[in-house]
Chain A
Amino acid sequence: MSALAVGLVTAGTLFVLGLAGVLVRRNTLIMLLSIEVMLNAAGLVFVLAGSRWGQPDGQVMFLLILALAASEVSVGLGLLLQLHRRTGSLDADRASRLKG
Chain B
Amino acid sequence: MLGWFWLIPALPLASAALLALFRLPRRAVALLGAGSVGLSAAVCLAIGVQFVLAPPPTGGLGLSLWGWLAAEGLAVPATLYLDGLALAMAVVISLVGFLIHLYSTSYMAGEQDYRRFFALMNLFVASMLLLVLADSLLLLFLGWEGVGLCSYLLIGFWYRQGEARGAALKAFLVTRVGDTGLFLGLLLLATSLGTLGLQQITRQVPLSWAVGSAPAVAAAALLLAGAVGKSAQLPLQTWLPDAMAGPTPVSALIHAATMVTAGVYLIARAWAVFSLAPQVLFAVAVIGAATILLAGSSALAQRDLKRALAYSTMSQIGYMFLALGVQAWQPAIFHFATHAFFKALLFLAAGVVIHELGGQQDMMRMGGLWRRLPVTFWTFLVACLSMASLPPLTAGFFSKDWILNAVYESPRGGFWLWLAAVVGVMLTSAYTFRMLFLVFLGSPRAQTAHGEGLHGGARGEGGAAILIPLLVLAVPAALLGYVETPKFLGDIRLFAGFLGTALPGPPAERVSTELLLLIPSDVAGLAGLGLAYLAWRRLGRAPVALAARVRGFWQSGWGFDALYNVLLVRPFLRLGQWTRGDVVDRFYDLVAAGNRLLHRLLSLWQGGLLRRYVLALALGAAVLLALVVML
Contacts and interface: CB of A to CB of B under 8 A. Distances in A.
Does B associate with A? Answer: yes
B604 A92 contact: no
12 contacts: A23-B611, A23-B615, A23-B618, A24-B611, A26-B611, A31-B610, A92-B609, A92-B611, A93-B610, A99-B606, A99-B608, A100-B605
Interface of A: 19, 22-24, 26, 31, 92-93, 95-100
A99 B610 CA distance: 10
Contact of B608 (A19, A31, A98): A98
Interface string B589-631: 0000000000000111111111100110010000000000000
A21 B293 CA distance: 95
Nearest to B604: A100
Which 4 pairs, one residue from A and one from B, show the smallest C-beta to C-beta distance? A99-B608, A96-B608, A100-B603, A100-B606
Contacts of B609: 92-93, 96, 99
A92 B615 CA distance: 14
A51 B602 CA distance: 47
Given A19-B618, A23-B618, A100 B602 contact: yes
A98 B614 CA distance: 16
B611 A93 contact: yes
B606 A92 contact: no
Contact of B610 (A19, A24, A95): A95
Contacts, number: 36
A92 B602 CA distance: 22
A24 B609 CA distance: 12
Given A97-B608, A99-B609, A100-B602, 18 more contacts: A22-B611, A23-B611, A23-B615, A23-B618, A92-B609, A93-B609, A93-B610, A95-B608, A95-B610, A96-B609, A98-B606, A98-B608, A99-B606, A99-B607, A99-B608, A100-B603, A100-B606, A100-B608
B532 to A, nearest CB: 76
A24 B615 CA distance: 10
Interface of B: 602-611, 614-615, 618
Contacts of B602: 100
A39 to B, nearest CB: 14
Contacts of A19: 618
Contacts of A98: 606, 608
Contacts of B608: 95-100
A22 B606 contact: no
A7 to B, nearest CB: 20
Contacts of A92: 609-611
Contacts of B615: 23
Contacts of B607: 96, 99-100
A39 B338 CA distance: 96
A92 B606 CA distance: 15
Nearest to A35: B614
B438 to A, nearest CB: 69
Contacts of A96: 607-610
A26 B611 CA distance: 8
A54 B604 CA distance: 50
B614 A23 contact: yes
B613 to A, nearest CB: 10
B86 to A, nearest CB: 68
A98 B611 CA distance: 14
Contacts of A99: 606-609
Nearest to A99: B608
A84 to B, nearest CB: 15
A22 B603 contact: no
A95 B611 CA distance: 11
Contacts of A24: 611
A92 B607 CA distance: 12
A23 B616 CA distance: 10
Nearest to A26: B611
A83 to B, nearest CB: 11
B477 to A, nearest CB: 73
A22 B614 contact: yes
Contacts of B614: 22-23
A100 B614 CA distance: 17
Contacts of A31: 610
Nearest to A98: B608
A11 B610 CA distance: 25
B617 to A, nearest CB: 10
Nearest to A97: B608
Nearest to A24: B611
| Residue from A22, A24, A26 whose CB has the most chain B CB atoms within 10 Å | A22
Contacts of A95: 608, 610
Contacts of B606: 98-100
Nearest to B614: A22
Contacts of A22: 611, 614
B409 to A, nearest CB: 85
A55 B618 CA distance: 30
Nearest to B605: A100
B286 to A, nearest CB: 70
Contacts of B605: 100
Contacts of A97: 608
A23 B606 CA distance: 17
| Residue from B604, B605, B610, B618 whose CB has the most chain A CB atoms within 10 Å | B610
B160 to A, nearest CB: 40
Contacts of B611: 22-24, 26, 92-93
A98 B615 CA distance: 18
Nearest to A28: B610
| Residue from A22, A92, A98, A100 whose CB has the most chain B CB atoms within 10 Å | A100
A24 B604 CA distance: 22
A96 B610 CA distance: 8
A22 B606 CA distance: 19
A97 B611 CA distance: 15
Nearest to A93: B609
Contacts of A100: 602-608
